[in-house]
Amino acid sequence: MIEALSYDFMQHALAAGILAGIACGIIGSLVVVNRLVFLSGGIAHTAYGGVGLAFFMGWPVLPCTIGFTLSASLIMAVITQRLPERVDTIIGVMWAAGMAFGIILLDITPGYNVDLMSFLFGSILAVPASDLWIMLGLDIIILCVVLLFYKDFLAMSFDRDFARARGVPVMILNIVLLAMTAVSVVMIIRVVGLILVIALLTIPPYLAERHVSSLGKMMVAAALWSILFCCIGLYISYQFNITSGASIIACASVCFFGVFMYETIAKRLLNARQ
């Protein structure tokens, strides 16, 4: 493993894992406690439309995808606030429409697109330095926004009606949260791919949530879990020549089921003893 770290692509991969892990921890925690998992799934698949658009127009992929996903998330935020009882349907429609839009654009783009698979399954081993800088910038923005509005996010996540009654601008915060989710989703797509983005956004926060006493600690713990999964997944991927995205998620999933089973059995034993 040590000699692997002397390669540039491996250093970049580790850096990408850490940067994506930080975003996962912060945004994933907010997504999980606000029950926006399905919505982030919708955003993730809509992102594919952005990828298609970038290839079709010949624009740089990461900024274009971020811009496209950001706009999609804002539309979702507005629609879900206008029609709260239709949220799941609308997310489902945008989910499918974004995907189809992306595929059609890629179909009519001339030439063979090698990079396509990397957006489905991630390409952490091929992250250029320029993308790392963008990811770092986005991490800093997310961190600043969440620190500045931490109390408001906490109030909104815990009890929306009460927060609104206290004068917290819940509507704006909700839009900001969805925008940050969009940005994080695009970042995580880089690392583990579109298909697996939900796992990395939900498993670390789930593991983190059980024993922490605050949302802030949950974010830190979730970020650490994410980084751990990325490191172990990368190692396995390098040693056994497995797709990196899949091995990162496999690692997270094994951990998830392990903890889940351990807790279920421990609870049974505890009940049996009483």
Partner 1 sequence: MGDGSEKIITIKNVSFSYNAECILEDINLSVSRGDFLAIIGPNGSGKTTLLKLVLGLLAPQKGRVRVFGHAPSRVSDRIGYVPQQLNFRPDFPVTVINVVLLGLVSSRVKGWRFTRHEQERAREALGQVDMLGYQDRRISELSGGQLQRVIIARALVSRPSLLLLDEPTSNIDAQGQFCFYEFLGELNKSISIVIVSHDIHIVSTRVTSVACVNKNLYYSPRPELTREMLALLYGEHDKNCPASAALAEMLERFSVGRKDS
Q: Which is nearer to partner 1, 87 or 212 (CB)?
A: 212
Residues lying near partner 1 in the complex (CB under 8 A):
33, 147-152, 154-155, 157-169, 209, 212-218
Of 115 and 159, nearer to partner 1 (C-beta) is 159
- Give the number of other Cβ atoms within 10 Å of residue 51's Cβ: 29
Nearer to partner 1, 111 or 167 (CB): 167
Residue 45 exposure: Cα atoms within 13 Å on the Cβ side? 17
- Of 158 and 257, nearer to partner 1 (C-beta) is 158
Structure tokens belonging to residue 124: 């952490």
Q: Which residues contact 8 (CB under 8 A, 6 or more apart)?
A: none
For partner 1, the closer CB: 4 or 224? 224
How is 219-238 classified by DSSP, letter by letter?
HHHHHHHHHHHHHHHHHHHH
Structure tokens at 212: 């922490």
Distance CA 20, CA 231 (A): 12
Quote the crossing angle between the two packed helices 8-33 and 197-209, to the nearest 10°. Answer: 60
Q: At 173, which amino acid appears?
A: L
Mapped onto helix, strand or coil, the DSSP state of residue 99 is: helix
Mention every residue, 6+ apart, whose C-beta is less than 8 A from residue 176.
Answer: 145, 149
- Between 38 and 235, name the residue whose CB sits nearer to partner 1: 38
Expressed in angstroms, the distance from the first to the final Cα of the chain is 48
Relative orientation angle of helices 197-209 and 37-57, to the nearest 10 degrees: 150
Token digits of residue 91: 């997310």
What's the rounded Cα separation, in Å, for the pair 233 and 245? Answer: 8
Task: Report the residue number, 36 or 155, with the smaller CB distance to partner 1.
Answer: 155
